[in-house]
Amino acid sequence: MSLIHKLPYEWLVGLRYTRAGKRSNRNSFISFISLISVSGIALGVAALIVVLSVMNGFQKQVTDRMLSVLAHIEVFDAGGSMPDWRKAEGEALRNPAVRGAAPFVETQGLLVKDDAMKPSNIRGILPDEEPKVSDVAKQVRQGSLQDLRPGQFNIVLGYVLARSLGVGVGDKVNMMLAQGQMTPAGIVPRSRLFTVAGIFEAGHYEFDSSMAFIHIQDAERMERLDAPNGLRLRIADMHQAPQVAAQLKGQMSGNLVMRDWSKLNANWFAAVQTEKRMMFIILTLIIAVAAFNLVSTLVMTVTDKQPDIAILRTLGASPQSIMKIFMIQGALVGIMGTLAGVGLGVLVALNIDVIVPFIEHLFGIQFLSKDIYLISEIPSDMRWPDVFKIGGVSVLLAFVATIYPSFSASRVKPAEALRYE
């Protein structure tokens, strides 16, 4: 209490007005409206923290699943093939940010099984090198990536693709490539029977439904190449991929083209960022509505406290001091609401993996069906910069809401306020 008593009188009066008054029904009603304002701000802040955390969680999980198949950086030779890929691999690994490199051949084809036909992205790999740049080997549910041996024409399919074709391990599929070959009957697509040696699940529908892996030598034979298309690289920090790609461009010899993972999925990431910004704006409007409830609360307080204002003015308080009293009151309400909202939002965001299953079990529902979304749990990735930004915006809106009522209080004339007292 001694510390509080040392505060300027504007703070003491503002703190007193913030506390619930019980002297009259009017004071109790004003306090109730203040409580509603605090609750509104708290709920808005908590909702914004939880929603952004869930969106961050979805983005992180989808990105991780994408990068379990995609490389962080792809290096192509402008000539279409990279005969001296071992040399290029050595040059890339000299960069301290590069953790692994592997050659690849990329092509598109049509996989055919009886009456089923599915377009597919065919990637030729070296099974022993691929774990350096992707997690596909860990994602194989049936068979093994090591079953891809040169000359045996084996293939590993995404599980959605395999299900669409109606094949399993040991079955045959016909691969047809767009590049034609001349026959007595004319130009026909090149084709070859492949044996399904494995089925993988990356957890990302786009890859599980369209990706297939074969040995790099089989891919070169199908594409009539004498060398891989290029190298796939994995780096220490995926977020530094554009910078590392620019460094490699200057460090590696030859006419090379660099492509990082963010460029490969630029449209998806742009859409996610736009959605996050729009969600932030929409939910900030909820906080703004709650914050501007303070206007009505403070206007009612100013009307109720006009005799007190008049007495303070006659005792020598300046208009600026009167204005400060009500700005302190409104700011305290905003800060209390923000702190309560931040506490609630952080608590929910950090425990959403417990809260959501409890709600699903309680009501017998499932928010996300794995058969549809391939994700059975709602992810959450709370980031403290988002929390601080939301808290700052909330306090700022509450402060702005106090300006008009406080200015109105500073213009109260003592004589008129005390006329009927």
In sequence order, what DSSP letters do the residues of 278-316 get, joined into one string? Answer: HHHHHHHHHHHHHHHHHHHHHHHHHHHTHHHHHHHHHTT
Q: 214 vs 194, 223, 289, 405, CA distance in Å?
A: 9, 12, 58, 72
Nearest-angstrom CA–CA distance, 394 and 53? 17
Residues 214 and 84 in one domain: yes
**Domains contained in the chain, number:** 2
Amino acid code (one letter) for 205: Y
Place of tokens 């808290």: 391
Range of the domain at 24: 2-64+268-417
Out of 261, 295, 315, a domain closes at 261
Tell me what pLDDT residue 219 has. 92
pLDDT tens digits, one per residue of 128-147 = 999 999 888 888 999 988 89
Nearest-angstrom CA–CA distance, 199 and 143? 7
Tell me what pLDDT residue 9 has. 61
Tell me what pLDDT residue 217 has. 93
How confident is residue 183, by pLDDT bands cut at 50, 70 and 90? low
pLDDT tens digits, one per residue of 72-118 = 899 988 777 888 889 999 999 999 999 999 999 998 889 999 888 89
Parallel, antiparallel or unpaired: strands 230-235 and 98-113: antiparallel
Which backbone phi and psi does 107 adopt, to 5 degrees? -155, 170
Parallel, antiparallel or unpaired: strands 154-158 and 211-215: antiparallel
Name the token pair of 152: 């045996």
How confident is residue 2, by pLDDT bands cut at 50, 70 and 90? low
Out of 261, 284, 306, a domain closes at 261
Q: Helix or strand or coil: residue 127?
A: coil
Residues 315 and 238 in one domain: no
Q: Which of 49, 65, 164 is nearest to 375 (CA)?
A: 65
| Count of C-beta atoms within a 10 Å radius of residue 52 | 24
Q: Helix or strand or coil: residue 260?
A: strand
What percentage of the chain has pLDDT greater than the value 70? 86
Place of tokens 């004339």: 413
pLDDT tens digits, one per residue of 144-157 = 888 999 989 999 99
Q: Tell me the Cα Rg of the chain.
A: 33
How confident is residue 57, by pLDDT bands cut at 50, 70 and 90? confident
Tell me what pLDDT residue 28 has. 63
What's the gap between Cα 200 and its chain centre? Answer: 25
pLDDT tens digits, one per residue of 198-222 = 999 887 788 888 899 999 999 999 8
Out of 261, 287, 322, a domain closes at 261
Residues 256 and 273 in one domain: no
What's the gap between Cα 257 and its chain centre? Answer: 29
User: Mean pLDDT throughout 57-77?
Assistant: 82
Residues 252 and 296 in one domain: no
Residues 215 and 341 in one domain: no
User: Mean pLDDT throughout 269-278?
Assistant: 79
Nearest-angstrom CA–CA distance, 304 and 30? 9
What percentage of the chain has pLDDT greater than the value 90? 28
* Residue 154 neighbours by CB under 8 Å, 6+ apart: 147, 148, 194, 195, 196, 197, 198, 214, 215
Asked if residue 331 lies in contact with residue 399, where contact means CB atoms within 8 angstroms, the answer is yes
* Residue 13 neighbours by CB under 8 Å, 6+ apart: 312, 325
Residues 198 and 315 in one domain: no
Q: 330 vs 85, 107, 192, CA distance in Å?
A: 67, 64, 75
Tell me what pLDDT residue 163 has. 92
Residues 388 and 292 in one domain: yes
Tell me what pLDDT residue 26 has. 55
Cross-strand pairs, 214: 124, 155
Residues 224 and 338 in one domain: no
How confident is residue 7, by pLDDT bands cut at 50, 70 and 90? low
pTM for the model:
0.70
Residues 48 and 79 in one domain: no
How confident is residue 306, by pLDDT bands cut at 50, 70 and 90? confident
Whole-number mean pLDDT of the chain? 82
Residues 392 and 317 in one domain: yes
Residues 45 and 139 in one domain: no
Asked whether residue 176 carries a pLDDT value surpassing 80, the answer given is yes
Asked whether residue 419 carries a pLDDT value surpassing 70, the answer given is no
Name the token pair of 177: 């490539």
Tell me what pLDDT residue 291 has. 76
pLDDT tens digits, one per residue of 347-380 = 999 998 888 888 878 887 777 665 555 565 788 8
Cross-strand pairs, 233: 73, 101
Asked whether residue 267 carries a pLDDT value surpassing 90, the answer given is no
Residues 255 and 328 in one domain: no
User: Mean pLDDT throughout 308-333?
Assistant: 81
Q: Which of 411, 419, 412 is nearest to 310 (CA)?
A: 412
